């Protein structure tokens, strides 16, 4: 009976094309497949669910009529997905709104179904959707668990259950604000580190060189620091920074455009150090990143990078 009312509501809300394409009925649970060309919007599902429960609350009588197939069709009864019928058919009528060919077991009135709660809607194929729903005490138990979770969340947030969504939105806004403040502080610290490293640059000929361990930072942060160091150098130069985090080693190299024009490739300078870390890297001559799983050997890799960079700069 719940399946029939669900089918009726889907056709009411989505259109008559939403015909049944399969179903499973178990105690307290319905799985219903139907034809539809797109995902059912949450607002549409809410309307379907409201229509269903309105009809169930009305406690309409459920009648079974055995008649000819022709008479059943004249009554407006809906035949199921491609089933074959004899001359005599069984029609199940729910109130004055649902009439379907059906040989299954039904309640005596729609109210005996109890509440019907849609818990999921998904695709099962091209132009085929699936709705899963709970009925009766299974639906009530599900709602009771949700209520208990909401009440518990309200206690944790020190607010009434009905105010939980508003409180969560406020907390999310606060978290976003704190994350922005934290990122601003981190950005300032990365800038300060870049300035410190640039100030400690060594001069090789007419160019500058910085090779250093930048501490435990992410690859993106390491690139930002390396570019910051390059931009703070008093003259064109090379910057190679390293970081070890979670056991992995990362290297970032940046070369001034003047050096790239002289055919200096920072990507080539990172090849051997990357192998020391047990990995590889990008070949870009101006901005390259490399790394590997052996972060404990970062110091050795940086030593190799320094030796290679000093040799290249000395030859210019």
The pLDDT averaged over each successive group of 10 residues in the chain (316 residues) is: 95 93 93 95 97 96 90 82 75 91 91 96 95 97 97 96 96 97 94 95 94 94 95 94 94 95 94 95 93 95 95 92
CATH classification at residue 196? 3.10.310.40
The domain containing residue 300 runs over which residues? 184-314
Distance CA 206, CA 67 (A): 102
Q: Let me know if residue 163 belongs to a domain.
A: no
Mark whether 68 and 194 lie in a shared domain.
no
Phi-psi region of 226 (alpha: psi -120 to 50; beta: other; left: phi over 0): alpha
Mark whether 142 and 202 lie in a shared domain.
no
Distance CA 193, CA 187 (A): 10
Mark whether 6 and 134 lie in a shared domain.
yes
Number of domains in the chain: 2
Final residue of a domain: which of 157, 176, 210? 157
Tell me what pLDDT residue 82 has: 59
Tell me what pLDDT residue 197 has: 96
Q: Kind of pairing, strands 20-26 and 29-35? A: antiparallel
Q: Let me know if residue 167 belongs to a domain.
A: no
Query: Residue 276's closest CA among 256, 255, 292, 260?
Result: 292
Mark whether 141 and 212 lie in a shared domain.
no
Tell me what pLDDT residue 79 has: 78
């Amino acid at each position: 009976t719940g399946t029939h009312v669900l089918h009726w509501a889907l056709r009411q809300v989505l259109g008559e094309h939403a015909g049944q394409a399969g179903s499973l009925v178990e105690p307290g649970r319905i799985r219903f497949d139907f034809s539809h060309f797109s995902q059912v919007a949450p607002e549409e599902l809410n309307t379907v669910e409201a229509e269903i429960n309105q009809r169930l609350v009305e406690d309409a009588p459920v009648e079974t009529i055995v008649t000819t197939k022709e008479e059943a069709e004249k009554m407006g009864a809906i035949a199921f997905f491609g089933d074959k019928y004899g001359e005599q058919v069984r029609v199940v009528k729910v109130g004055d709104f649902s009439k379907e060919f059906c040989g299954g077991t039904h309640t005596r009135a729609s109210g005996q179904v109890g509440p019907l709660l849609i818990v999921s809607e998904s695709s099962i194929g091209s132009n085929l959707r699936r709705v899963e729903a709970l009925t009766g005490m299974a639906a009530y138990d599900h709602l009771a668990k949700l209520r208990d979770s909401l009440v518990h969340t309200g206690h944790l947030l020190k607010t009434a259950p009905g105010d939980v969504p508003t409180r969560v939105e406020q907390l999310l806004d606060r978290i976003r604000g704190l994350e922005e403040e934290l990122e601003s502080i981190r950005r300032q610290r990365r800038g300060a580190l870049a300035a410190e490293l640039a100030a400690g640059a060594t001069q090789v000929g007419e160019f500058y060189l910085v090779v250093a361990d930048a501490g435990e930072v992410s690859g993106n942060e390491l690139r930002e620091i390396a570019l910051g160091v390059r931009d703070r150098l008093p003259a064109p130069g090379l910057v190679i920074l390293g970081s070890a985090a979670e056991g992995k080693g990362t290297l970032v190299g940046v070369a001034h455009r003047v050096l790239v024009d002289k055919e200096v490739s920072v990507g080539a300078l990172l090849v051997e150090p990357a192998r020391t870390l047990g990995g590889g890297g990008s070949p870009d001559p101006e901005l390259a990143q490399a790394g590997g799983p052996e972060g404990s050997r970062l110091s050795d890799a940086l030593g190799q990078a320094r030796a290679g960079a000093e040799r290249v700069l000395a030859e210019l």
